[in-house]
Chains A and B, each alone.
Chain A
Amino acid sequence: MILKYAISKELRQELGLRENEELYYCVPYDIDDDGSMLDDSYIVVSNFRLFITKKGKVLESLELKDAGEVIAEPLINCGTLIWKQNDTERKLIRYSSKHLARYAYIARGCRLLKEGETIPVESDEDEKTCPRCGRALPGTKECPHCTHQKSGLINSMWKYMKKYRMLLTTAIILMLLATAVTMLNPALQRILVDDIIKDENGTMKGAMIVLLGMLALSIGIILINAGKYYLCAKLGANMALDLRKALYGKIQELSLSFINDRKPGELMNRVIGDTNRVRDFMSEIFCDFATIAVIFVFDVIIMLILNWKLALIAFAFTPVAVGISISFRKVIHRRFHMQWVKDDNVRSNLQDVISGMAVVKSYGQEEAEGLRFNEKADAYAATQRSNETVWALFFPAMQFILSIGTYFIVFFGGRSVLNLDMSAGELIQFVSYTGMLYQYVGWLSNLPRHLMNIVTAHERISDVMNQTPRIADGEEAVEHEIQGNIEFKNASFGYKSYKPVLDGINLKIKPGEMIGLVGASGTGKSTMINLIMHLYEIDNGELLIDGINIKDIALENYHSQIGVVLQETFLFSGTILNNIRFAKPDATYEEIITAAKMANAHDFICRTPDGYNTYVGEKGYNLSGGERQRIAIARAILNNPRLLILDEATASLDTESEYLIQKALERLTAGRTTFAIAHRLSTLRNADRLVVIDGHHIAEVGTHNELMEKKGIYYGLVNAQLEMNKSA
């Protein structure tokens, strides 16, 4: 995201920068005081001052050192920049949603500048529109239109194609054959007319030979096309498969923050949708394109050779043909898109009502919903009917108009034939070629759209492929056996760089300690363990594992020593057995049973008809919440982890089960560093130390007794829970 827009010379002059004053940020704002839209107005920030400029004039300059705080306050579809000085807030300017994120960064940048930090903040969020051409970016960094992606496309397509060189060569040979055969047919027609029908010496036998030749060509073209389509489809499918595997591998390699930054479904779309587009392009467009382009060239050449005057007449009509086919396509596209939208409407309405049927019925709203559905269905039917009519009328009409060019050829060519400048056979041949010309011109005019489609798909794929994983094993990554010393040194982290979740965390944990993390919902407990698991990189400060920076520890090796039960219990669709041994596929049955027993899961598993082989569907939704949690606990303890993380691991369990599991875990956690998060404070009674997180910081640390004496946040929480239990 751009935080420093280019600034004009005049405006720079106008700012009157002092010595040593450097520009840090320059971002536009687009709403005027009266609420109307504004352009050419900027907030400029230097290391000393914040300038408000409007249409090339500096309205005001404020000294950053005077600012209590610069706040970017998000409002509804807009936001305002606030200058806070001596506790009074002053509205500086207003901007639309377009710049919302930008100003959040600017506010942070101002804070850092004020604190004396000289490194500017940067944002790696993507722009939404291309700063050069103003087109929307399809979720990528580079604009597919502006970067020379078309050459990049060919390069990277070639990268995936060259594996299939044989396939490709064969396909191209078939394409050339198809060209030859297509071009030959009209030539045979001419021979039939000139040398046999119109010639006195023409014999029935000769006619039969030519006709047989034509038949052979027709059969030939069918076979060639079949082969060609088969090969191209195979090529496309193979390439899409390779791409898909490569993409999947890459996405797994990338850190969670990359995945979190995209909308859900978007990455899935890239893996499935965009690779499918590559496949479709190869099997349909590439295949036909190569053939048609070659045919087209030969068609033009042969027409010129046969009769250049007639050829020019035919060419003169091509812009008309192109125009007609483009506008026809527009109309049709528009209409069928509309039909598609209405269809979608009907579907989503239907889905809504069916999944909410219980509510509809219990409120007796069947009739109203029925009417609503009918309305939508009627609208769809009406559109569909009218589209069919248009299609039925338009299509023949277009065909007719396109063939007008041919009538001209017949007219002028006919005159030539009568003047004996041309033979009848030649005219027939020529007319066939003209027909082909118009047909292929229409097809070729479609090409830019298809190309853009594939360029966009390619851009989105390479956007992922070109990412460097933010968390990856460095050169000096070491394999390390975890002892259990963990130290946060002034660590800060936020999922969005402008919105901190944890700030200035200092904490030292000894091996074998059990730490209980406590705090209100949304304060960053799960975030803290995400950091310990190295799913995210901390923004500032350090995280040391046994004195080694976590960045220097080989990831896979590290993760294999951690056992974790996440807050959202996730089971893969598969059997209970496979779910438990996910982290250690070679675990023996004894190990699995022991783990399950420890997690108090063994008994309920045995009660299911298929025991450990019971299939738990997608996300394990046919199990109860507590049952899922117990399987997750078994999974976490199976490989005897050095570091155990339990995020609300027993929250869905009844008190008795929780007690049993805790007793079992006590044995397991002895000697291992353990993190446990729980809202039910009784869960944490075994913790050696409790860490209370509040307001982005660690508010309190200590044993239960210490914290109770301190009468702080923890004390309040304990009391509140006691009271609630009593009064419930």
Chain B
Amino acid sequence: MGYGKGFHGEEKEFDLEEMEKETEEMLKIRYLNSDNADFKRTEGGFVSLKIGDENYERVHVVRMFPFTDPEHYISIRTPDENSKEIGIIKDFKDVSADTRKMLEEQMNLRYFTPIITKIINIKDEYGYAYFDVVTDRGACRFTINIGGSAVVHLSDTRILISDIDENRFEIPDIMKLTVGERKKLDLFL
């Protein structure tokens, strides 16, 4: 949108410059590391960020590849409605162990996908299946809609199950389930 800028150089065009700057910002990738970024825990249980003379009371910690690479490429974003990217942490090695810990806490806060470790029972009735399982977050019962696309394959052996409340549950490797458990699950694979 701003390629012709040079031809209108003499006009007052703060708007255009603004736009250009925004475009630049949009395209730039800023990597964060322990040198340029200073993360701190807030009293309220969140994390603030100071980066140069920029100050953020609170930031969102977002995984870019939550399934394929949850531990790399972490986007740090402003928490408002039209959330903008502040920077990217490419690898947790780039930040201090303490920072890493507090960012991981924030991610644990943000994401809630229990991992199913044991299937006790699955009962299907009139188009819904009632799961009774044990997860890494404790025992749990949930219901899925059989007709819909409740079960998604992330890979051949890794599945994600969405229940009617839009909670999600993961089974990282169905081959690790017992034969009996797999058989119960068979109907939905």
Interface residues of A (CB under 8 A from B): 31, 35-37, 75-78, 80, 82-83, 87-91, 94, 96-98, 100, 128-129, 135-136, 138, 334, 337-338, 341, 452-453, 456, 716, 719-720, 723-724, 726-728
Q: How many angstroms between the C-alpha atoms of A478 and B13 in the bound complex? A: 54
Q: Which residues of B contact A129 (CB under 8 A)?
A: 143, 164
Q: Which of B128-183 contact A (CB under 8 A)?
A: 128, 130, 135, 137-140, 143, 145, 164-168
CA A258 – CA B45 in complex, angstroms?
A: 40
Given contacts A78-B110, A78-B112, A83-B44, 18 further A-B contacts (CB under 8 A): A37-B137, A75-B109, A75-B110, A77-B167, A78-B167, A82-B44, A88-B42, A88-B44, A89-B46, A91-B44, A128-B165, A129-B164, A135-B130, A138-B127, A341-B187, A720-B16, A723-B19, A727-B2
> Hey, which chain B residues are within 8 Å of A136, CB to CB?
128, 143, 145, 164
Nearest Cβ in chain B — how far from A148, in angstroms?
18
Q: Which residues of B contact A97 (CB under 8 A)?
A: 112, 165-167
In the assembled complex, the Cα of A328 lies from the Cα of B19 at a distance in Å of: 69
Task: Identify the closest chain B residue to A449 (Cβ).
Answer: B126
Interface centre among A88, A136, A338 (most CB of B within 10 A): A136
Residue of A nearest to B148 (CB): A263
Is the pair A719, B43 in contact by a Cβ cutoff of 8 Å? no
Residues of B with C-beta under 8 A to A338: 186-187
Q: Does B137 contact A334, Cβ atoms closer than 8 Å? A: no
How far is A720 from B18 in the complex, measured between Cα atoms in Å? 10
Task: Tell whether, in the assembled complex, residue B165 and residue A96 are in contact, meaning their CB atoms are under 8 Å apart.
Answer: yes
Given known contacts A77-B166, A338-B186, A723-B16, is B1 in contact with A35 (CB within 8 Å)?
A: no
Which of B16, B43, B138 sits near A90, CB closer than 8 Å? B43
Given the complex, which residues of A lie within 8 Å of B1, measured CB to CB?
724, 727-728
Residues on the A chain within 8 Å of B30, using CB: none
- Is B84 on the interface with A (CB-CB < 8 A)? no
Q: List 9 A-B contacts (CB under 8 A).
A: A76-B66, A89-B46, A96-B165, A136-B164, A719-B15, A723-B15, A726-B4, A727-B2, A728-B1
> Is B113 engaged at the interface, CB distance under 8 Å to the other chain?
yes
B103-117: CB near A (< 8 Å → 1, else 0) gives 000001111111000
Would you call A128 and B186 a contact (CB within 8 A)? no
CB A96 to nearest CB in B, in angstroms, measures 5
Q: Does B50 contact A (CB under 8 A)?
A: no
A128 to B167, CA, bound (A): 12
Q: A residues within 8 A CB of B110?
A: 75-76, 78
A31 to chain B: closest residue by CB: B112
Q: How far is the CB of A81 from chain B (nearest CB, A)?
A: 11
Bound CA span A98–B145, Å: 15
Interface of A is mostly: mixed
Confirm or deny: B125 has a beta carbon within 8 angstroms of a beta carbon on chain A. yes
CA of A83 to CA of B42, assembled, Å: 13
A727 to B5, CA, bound (A): 6
**Shortest 10 CB-CB contacts between residues of A and residues of B:** A90-B44, A78-B112, A727-B4, A91-B45, A98-B165, A37-B138, A136-B128, A97-B166, A723-B16, A77-B112
CB contacts (< 8 Å) of A719 on chain B: these are: 15
B126–A456 touching, CB < 8 Å: yes
A501, chain B: closest CB distance, angstroms = 13
Nearest Cβ distance between residue B8 and chain A, in whole angstroms?
Answer: 6
Shortest A314–chain B CB gap in Å is 32
Q: Which of A35, A80, A452, A716 contacts B126 (CB 8 A)?
A: A452
Q: How large is the interface on B (under 10, 10 to 19, 20 to 34, 35 or more residues)?
A: 35 or more
Which of chain B's residues has its CB closest to A716's CB? B15
Q: Are A75 and B111 neighbours in the complex by a CB distance under 8 Å? A: yes
| Chain A nearest Cβ from B152, distance in angstroms | 13
Q: Which one of A90, A135, A341, A456 lies within 8 Å of B45 (CB-CB)?
A: A90
User: Chain B residues with Cβ under 8 A from A96's Cβ?
Assistant: 112, 165, 167
Taking a contact as CB atoms under 8 Å apart, the answer to whether A727 and B46 are in contact is no
| Residues of B close to A89: CB separation below 8 A | 42, 44, 46, 57-58
- Please measure, in the bound complex, the distance between the C-alpha atom of A117 and the C-alpha atom of B127, giving whole angstroms: 43
**B110 nearest in chain A by CB position:** A75
Of residues 24 to 83 in B, which have CB atoms within 8 Å of A's CB atoms? Answer: 42-46, 57-58, 66
Which of A80, A82, A338, A726 has its CB near the most chain B CB atoms (within 10 A)? A726
The residue of chain B having its C-beta at the shortest distance from the C-beta of A78 within the complex is B112
A597 and B106 CA atoms in complex are apart in Å by 62
CA distance A727 to B3 in the complex (A): 7
List residues of chain B with CB within 8 A of the CB of A88.
42-44, 57
| A652 → B minimal CB distance (Å) | 21
| List of A residues within 8 angstroms of B43 by Cβ | 88, 90
Contacts of B137 in A (CB 8 A): 31, 35-37
CB distance from A89 to the nearest CB of B (A): 5
Q: Which residue of chain B lies nearest to A348 when distances are taken between CB atoms in the complex? A: B149
Provide the bound-state CA to CA distance between A516 and B167, in Å. Answer: 43
State in angstroms the CA–CA spacing of A454 and B167 once bound together.
Answer: 29
Question: Could you tell me the distance in whole angstroms from the C-beta of A312 to the nearest C-beta in chain B?
Answer: 34
Across the interface, which residues of B come within 8 angstroms of A138, CB to CB?
A: 126-127
Chain A nearest CB: distance from B39 CB in Å? 16
For the complex, give the distance between the alpha carbons of A94 and B114 in Å. 14
User: Are A75 and B112 touching (Cβ within 8 A)?
Assistant: yes
CB closest chain-B residue, reference A338? B187
Given contacts A37-B138, A128-B165, contact A77 B57 (CB under 8 A): no
